[in-house]
């Protein structure tokens, strides 16, 4: 082996080493950044859970680790003797969210199909209308709805919460579903029609099964959006119909004026956990659904 | 509420096989439109009707109400009497901040009236919107870039990012209220004794921090989706050409992500302009954190019709912002798509 | 342009919608006013409904059972509302607007009475419908009256109490100045001196009105007109502003509502605390409380004697739309009997509206704060009685908040308060 060759190898090794080092450094930086992101996203949620498990007498304890651990708060959260209806509110939220999701999907899927697949006059008018609808601020609706529902005796009914919610969720479902529909392999529909299916049959038998995952994702998004709604519900619901968001915001304690933070955090934890599980399980699909409108 | 405002109308569908423009031209075309049109109207009718009932009706009725006066006291009986038509006084109450004077006529709304808060609420709303959207965009970009890298535990980070988004805003607000209490963990952790909800700037920052925490993940995911559309080869080529990281970001990442980013910014902006639950629960609107939405809600119990005028104003403001944005955004999308769009229009 | 194509339809849809709704007629309109017939159904007897917020301590049900056993033909049904004051208010408004004959007797917060009376929804309790008010605390009657007419029967009351540290304060202060002079004790012990509720919400209206009333001023005069440009009102609000500037009111008190202030006091961080009677039970029982054995109570400090508390509580009003007003009146009387009031106090810890019960030994044994509360309520002033309460309380809160924080001179704050109320009560 010549000296020159040895030197060359040494240089190559050196080069590889610095490249490796640089790689390692970059990896290290990535991990540190990822850790920062993790802490930023999870720390407040962690504090909610820790407080939820803390004895009410030690609400303002600031030790980072769980102290005075108890399950009482979860019981308190469901306790109705202070005028809270958390259990009822949970059912209300599920019911309202369910109806809103089903109805807006039913309506939305048809509309999205038409927008994605059909050609007709006034298409832009319709799109513009739906786009416009999603811009309306909730407060612009609330005054007249308050007045209207008062006049027709709908205050404190489920429909008073469901119907406005549909209007908020519908544009979302239409847009997400339209984006999904544009991505579908429509050649299949064509071939089905060549095989003698009508457009309706082709839609039902070929497209719907293919679209099921997309519909499911949209359903989750619609449900979460309705589950989180506060403005309309805070003004138009009664204790019988109020959803969890309102129930938690107005949680009352054993004494007048008392704000039972620990029970509120317990309730918050209960409300959040199903969503977090849902979100974690369907993470990829949700990300796809959220981004569908934006990137295409 | 996250609303999708996909740029559908200005873009061509990706798989345009059966779009009309590509459909066989000639004899059957008119019939095709007619039959598809019939189909479409059936499919769209429920959506249009639903939106018309819940959105168009209230908007119109709000406009009608905004020109009516609220009931006032009859000095003789001490009882309330019908208000009657109001002309534009309900709007004057807000925009010119002129309140009815006890002696007749109007005076500038004194501090302590809702009318006197209109412009400060407008300023606050825009301040929140600009700051939160800017922070969310920058932080979201940073988070998206991290999540786009390959490293162990990436899926954990992507999942964790969804947690703040999944917590209902009302709960988020309560949580931050608790964190920002004087005796709360925030002051303890940073060894400060800031009155987070007791003076103007801390209160504003409390709202901003909570909002940024809640919605940055959403932004990050949208940007991430945009990032993933960029082929890795483009970066490799740039690296070979000796481009620095910053140059690669500025010359490749930014322009390519821009369309997705602009849409994300648009609907975050519209959402931020409607901000309600967070400041409502966190600060109750005190210390100059009253947004337009909070102002409307405060007014409802003092008088429907005056509230209707303000909700109409709020709607117009948001509409204008959206209009400006879409024009600006639309132009950019067109620019991006010049090649593809040529001949279509 | 593509963008135009995009936006034009929106505008078009708007126009279309506009023309559509023009056919629909004015769905909005203003709220129905005028009220029902106060002269009708005065002799009506039969079943009625009693409407009240959440019955937290289970006092209403047993009471109604008792009534029903005695009046089989005039049974009372209990309609329970939510725990939230705003929701209770809105529920009542909706039913009154609908002229609902089923809301016969309704429990109204002291601050709503004037509004409902002015809307013509409450039956004036005079002439044939008069109520025997002898023995009732005058401030509770004032709070249930509008323009000199009684519109509701005082049902329960509430007043502020000054809590203090027995171990540090030898004799409780009687006047504001005395209390301020004791702040040196707080300083030597390195704790805050005094706090009430100074966050910008309803509690601030309570505290600011107390300061103004205690100094001899008043928010509204007898005719319901604001009367804030007075030396007494200035002195009252200036007391708070000065104490805050001095640090006698700790700076974090500006974020306190009832609970935060209670927490600070219980943690041993305050020498004096103005709060409601509910604090007593928690402060002596809660595990983390550091003031269990040293909790003192006295009347709020005033100018030269006890101060003027703001009045809380509820009254029972009769709907003008009721078909059975004679039964309703009997039920109102039943709610204010000594026996019922005693039951409210023992069972629900609700402050009675009858003066003599405050000296009842059995009651005092159970509710040790009663004697102090008596002084407090006897000297209490109703919060401004006005049909425009939401606007008035907003005017007080906004301006008092600025004044206490020192952002605005006391004079200017009061004159803005005055002007705000003037422009909004028409």
Q: pLDDT (tens digit, 9 = 90+) per residue, A105-152?
A: 999 988 988 888 788 877 777 877 887 777 777 777 777 787 788 778
CATH superfamily of the domain spanning B120-344: MetI-like (1.10.3720.10)
Widest pairwise Cα distance in chain A: 99
- Structural domains in chain C (count): 2
CA distance A215 to C109: 49
Beta-strand ranges (E) seen in B82-218 are: 98-100, 106-108
> From the candidates A36, A39, A41, A123, which should be mutated to test the interface with B, based on the most B CB atoms within 10 A?
A41
C218 and C304 belong to one structural domain: yes
Give partners of A (≥3 CB pairs < 8 A). Answer: B, C
Contacts of A59 in chain C (CB under 8 A): 263
Pair C193, C278 in one domain = yes
What number of residues does chain C have? Answer: 426
Q: What angle do CA C184, C189, C195 make, to 5 degrees?
A: 65
Same domain for C315 and C304 = no
User: Tokens representing C193?
Assistant: 């001196």
d(CA B168, CA A227): 7
- The bridge status of strand C105-109 relative to strand C48-52 is parallel
Do C167 and C301 sit in the same domain of this protein?
yes
Q: C151 and C260 share a domain?
A: no
Say whether C13 and A122 touch across the interface (CB within 8 A): no
Contact check, Cβ <8 Å, C9/A125: yes
Is C91 in Cβ contact with A156 (below 8 Å)?
yes
Nearest CB to C30; choose among B70, B326, B334: B70
Question: For residue B34, what are its two tokens?
Answer: 């007619």
Chain C hits for B182, CB-CB cut-off 8 Å, are 252, 255, 260
Residues of C in contact with A250 (CB under 8 A): 83-84
Q: Is C261 a member of any domain?
A: yes
Asked if residue C88 is part of any domain, the answer here is yes
ipTM for the predicted complex comes to: 0.81
> Which residues in chain C are closer than 8 Å to A132, comparing Cβ atoms?
10, 13-14
Partnered with residue C296 across adjacent β-strands are C164
Q: Are residues C154 and C244 in the same domain?
A: no
Decide if C128 is inside a domain. yes
Q: Which of B113, B112, B72 is nearest to B305 (CA)?
A: B72
Q: Which two tokens stand for residue B325?
A: 């944005």
- Identify the helix (H) or strand (E) that includes residue B251: none
Same domain, C369 and C393: no
Kind of pairing between the strands at C381-382 and C161-165: unpaired
What element of type H or E holds B131? Answer: helix B118-148
- Residue bearing tokens 């003027």: C308
**A31 chain-B contacts, CB cut-off 8 A:** 151
Against chain B, the chains showing at least 3 CB pairs within 8 Å are A, C
Q: Residue C351's beta-bridge partner residues?
A: C157
Cβ–Cβ below 8 Å for A47 and B11: no
- Does residue C282 share a domain with residue C332? no
CATH number of the domain that residue C106 is part of: 3.40.190.10
- Give the model confidence (pLDDT) of C248-298 as tens digits: 999 999 988 888 899 899 999 999 999 999 888 888 887 778 999 999 999
C198 phi and psi angles, rounded to 5 deg? -120, 10
pTM of the model: 0.82
pLDDT tens digit sequence for C175-188:
999 999 999 999 99
Rounded CA separation A1/C8 (Å): 79
- Segment holding B215, helix H or strand E: helix B200-227
| C10 within some domain | no
Residue C21 domain flag: no
In terms of domains, do C149 and C221 share one? no
Backbone angle region of C148, left / alpha / beta, with phi > 0 → left and psi within -120 to 50 → alpha: left
Q: Model confidence at A183, in pLDDT bands (50, 70, 90)? A: confident
User: Residue B97 corresponds to which tokens in the numbers above?
Assistant: 């901040």
A244–B6 C-beta distance less than 8 A: no
Indicate the residue of C6, C13, C28 with minimum beta-carbon distance to B65: C28
Domain match, C303 and C319 both: no
Q: How many C-alpha atoms does A74 have within 13 Å on its Cβ side?
A: 9
For C32, the closest chain B residue by CA position comes to B82
Contact by Cβ (8 Å): A85, A242: yes
Residues of A in contact with B51 (CB under 8 A): 129-130, 133, 167, 170-171
C263 and C321 share a domain? no
* Domain of residue C222, residue span: 161-309+388-424
Q: Does one domain contain both C185 and C304?
A: yes
Provide the pairing of β-strand C152-158 with C105-109: unpaired
Let me know if B200 is exposed, middle or buried by CB neighbors in 10 A (0-12, 13-18, 19+). Answer: middle
Domain membership flag for residue C29? no
Q: How many Cβ atoms sit within 10 Å of the Cβ of residue B187?
A: 19
Q: What is the pLDDT of residue B333?
A: 36
> Over its length of 426 residues, how does chain C's per-residue pLDDT go in tens digits?
343 334 344 444 433 333 333 333 333 333 334 446 777 888 899 999 999 987 777 889 999 999 999 999 999 998 887 767 777 887 888 788 778 888 999 999 999 999 999 999 999 999 889 999 999 999 999 999 998 899 999 999 999 999 999 999 999 999 999 999 999 999 999 999 999 999 988 899 999 999 999 999 999 988 888 999 999 999 999 999 999 999 999 999 998 888 889 989 999 999 999 999 988 888 888 777 899 999 999 999 999 989 999 998 899 999 999 999 999 999 999 999 999 999 998 888 889 999 999 999 989 988 899 999 999 888 898 888 899 998 999 999 999 999 999 999 999 999 999 999 998 876
For residue B290, the 8-state DSSP code is -
């Amino acid at each position: 082996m010549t000296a020159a060759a040895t030197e060359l190898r040494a240089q190559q090794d050196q080069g590889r080493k610095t490249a490796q080092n640089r790689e390692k450094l970059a990896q290290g930086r990535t991990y540190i950044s990822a850790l920062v992101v993790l802490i930023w996203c999870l720390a407040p949620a962690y504090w909610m859970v820790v407080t939820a498990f803390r004895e009410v007498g030690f609400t303002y304890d600031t030790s980072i680790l769980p102290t005075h651990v108890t399950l009482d708060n979860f019981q308190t959260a469901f306790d109705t003797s202070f005028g809270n209806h958390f259990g009822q509110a949970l059912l209300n939220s599920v019911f309202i969210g369910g109806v809103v999701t089903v109805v807006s999907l039913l309506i939305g899927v048809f509309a999205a199909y038409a927008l994605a697949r059909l050609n007709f006059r006034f298409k832009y008018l319709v799109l513009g209308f739906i786009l416009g609808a999603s811009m309306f601020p909730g407060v612009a609706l609330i005054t007249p709805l308050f007045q209207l529902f008062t006049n027709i005796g709908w205050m404190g009914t489920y429909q008073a919460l469901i119907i406005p919610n549909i209007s908020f969720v519908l544009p979302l479902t239409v847009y997400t579903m339209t984006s999904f529909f544009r991505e579908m392999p429509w050649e299949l529909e064509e071939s089905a029609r060549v095989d003698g299916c009508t457009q309706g049959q082709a839609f039902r038998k070929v497209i719907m099964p293919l679209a099921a995952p997309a519909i499911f994702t949209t359903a989750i998004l619609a449900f979460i959006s309705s589950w989180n709604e506060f403005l309309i519900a805070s003004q138009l619901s009664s204790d019988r119909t109020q959803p969890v968001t309102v129930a938690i915001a107005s949680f009352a304690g054993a004494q007048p004026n008392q704000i039972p933070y620990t029970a509120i955090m317990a309730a918050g934890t209960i409300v959040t956990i199903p969503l977090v599980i849902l979100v974690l399980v369907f993470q990829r699909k949700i990300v796809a659904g959220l981004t569908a409108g934006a990137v295409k | 509420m996250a609303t999708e405002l996909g740029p559908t109308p200005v873009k061509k569908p990706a798989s345009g096989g059966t779009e009309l423009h590509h459909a066989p031209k000639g004899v059957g075309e008119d019939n095709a439109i007619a039959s598809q049109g019939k189909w479409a109207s059936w499919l769209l009718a429920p959506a249009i009707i639903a939106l018309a009932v819940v959105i168009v009706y209230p908007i119109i009725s709000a406009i009608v109400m905004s020109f009516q006066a609220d009931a006032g006291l009859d000095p003789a009986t001490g009882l309330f009497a019908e208000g009657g038509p109001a002309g534009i006084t309900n709007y004057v109450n807000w925009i010119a901040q002129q309140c009815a004077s006890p002696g007749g006529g109007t005076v500038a709304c004194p501090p302590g009236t809702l009318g006197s808060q209109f412009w400060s609420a407008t300023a606050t709303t825009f301040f929140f919107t600009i700051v939160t959207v800017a922070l969310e965009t920058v932080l979201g970009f940073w988070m998206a870039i991290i999540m786009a890298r390959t490293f162990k535990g990436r899926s954990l980070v992507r999942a964790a990012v969804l947690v703040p988004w999944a917590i209902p805003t009302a709960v988020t607000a309560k949580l931050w209220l608790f964190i920002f209490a004087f005796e709360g963990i925030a002051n303890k952790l940073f060894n400060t004794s800031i009155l987070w909800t007791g003076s103007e700037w801390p209160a504003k920052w409390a709202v901003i921090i909570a909002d940024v925490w809640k919605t940055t993940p959403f932004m990050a995911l949208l940007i991430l989706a945009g990032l993933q559309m960029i082929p890795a080869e483009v970066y490799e080529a740039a690296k070979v050409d000796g481009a620095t990281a910053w140059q690669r970001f500025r010359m490749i990442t930014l322009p390519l992500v821009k369309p997705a980013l602009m849409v994300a910014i648009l609907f975050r902006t519209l959402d931020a302009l409607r901000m309600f639950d967070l400041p409502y629960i966190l600060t109750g609107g005190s210390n100059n954190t009253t947004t337009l939405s909070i102002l409307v809600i405060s007014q409802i119990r003092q008088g429907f019709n005056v509230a209707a005028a303000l909700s109409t104003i709020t709607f117009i403001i948001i509409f204008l912002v959206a209009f400006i944005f879409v024009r600006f955004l639309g132009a950019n999308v067109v620019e991006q798509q010049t090649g593809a769009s040529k001949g279509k229009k | 342009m593509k963008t135009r194509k995009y936006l034009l339809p929106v505008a078009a849809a708007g126009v279309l919608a506009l023309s559509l709704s023009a056919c629909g007629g004015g769905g909005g309109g203003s709220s129905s006013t005028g009220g029902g017939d106060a002269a009708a159904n005065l002799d009506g007897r039969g079943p009625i409904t009693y409407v009240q917020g959440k019955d937290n301590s289970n006092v209403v049900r047993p009471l109604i059972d008792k009534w029903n056993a005695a009046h089989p033909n005039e049974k009372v049904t209990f309609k329970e509302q939510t725990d939230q004051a705003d929701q209770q208010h809105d529920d009542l408004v909706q039913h009154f607007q609908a002229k609902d004959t089923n809301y016969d007797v309704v429990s109204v917060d002291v601050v709503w009475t004037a509004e409902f009376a002015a809307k013509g929804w409450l039956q004036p309790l005079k002439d044939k419908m008069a109520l025997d008010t002898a023995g009732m605390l005058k401030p509770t009657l004032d709070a249930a009256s509008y323009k000199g007419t009684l519109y509701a029967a005082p049902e329960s009351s509430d007043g502020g109490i000054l809590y203090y540290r027995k171990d540090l304060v030898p004799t409780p202060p009687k006047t504001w100045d005395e209390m301020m002079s004791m702040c040196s004790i707080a300083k030597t012990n390195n704790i805050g001196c005094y706090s009430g509720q100074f966050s910008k919400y309803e509690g601030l209206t309570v505290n600011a009105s107390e300061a103004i009333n205690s100094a001899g001023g008043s928010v509204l005069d007898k005719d319901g007109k604001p009367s804030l440009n007075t030396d007494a009102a200035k002195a009252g609000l200036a007391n708070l502003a000065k104490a805050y500037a001095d640090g006698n009111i700790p700076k974090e008190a500006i974020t306190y509502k009832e609970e935060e202030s209670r927490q600070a006091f219980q943690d041993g961080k305050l020498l004096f605390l103005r709060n409601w009677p509910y604090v007593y039970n928690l402060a002596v029982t809660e595990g983390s409380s550091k003031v269990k054995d040293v909790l003192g109570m006295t009347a709020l400090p005033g100018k030269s004697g006890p101060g003027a508390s703001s009045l809380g509580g509820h009254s029972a009003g009769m709907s003008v739309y009721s078909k059975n007003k004679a039964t309703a009146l009997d039920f109102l009387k039943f709610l204010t009997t000594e026996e019922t009031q005693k039951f409210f106090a023992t069972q629900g810890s609700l402050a009675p509206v009858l003066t003599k019960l405050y000296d009842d030994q059995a009651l005092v044994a159970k509710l040790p704060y009663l004697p102090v509360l008596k002084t407090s309520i006897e000297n209490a002033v109703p919060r401004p009685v006005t049909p425009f309460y939401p606007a008035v309380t907003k005017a007080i809160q906004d301006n008092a908040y600025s004044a206490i924080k020192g952002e605005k001179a006391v004079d200017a704050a009061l004159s803005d308060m005055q002007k705000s109320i003037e422009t909004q009560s028409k």
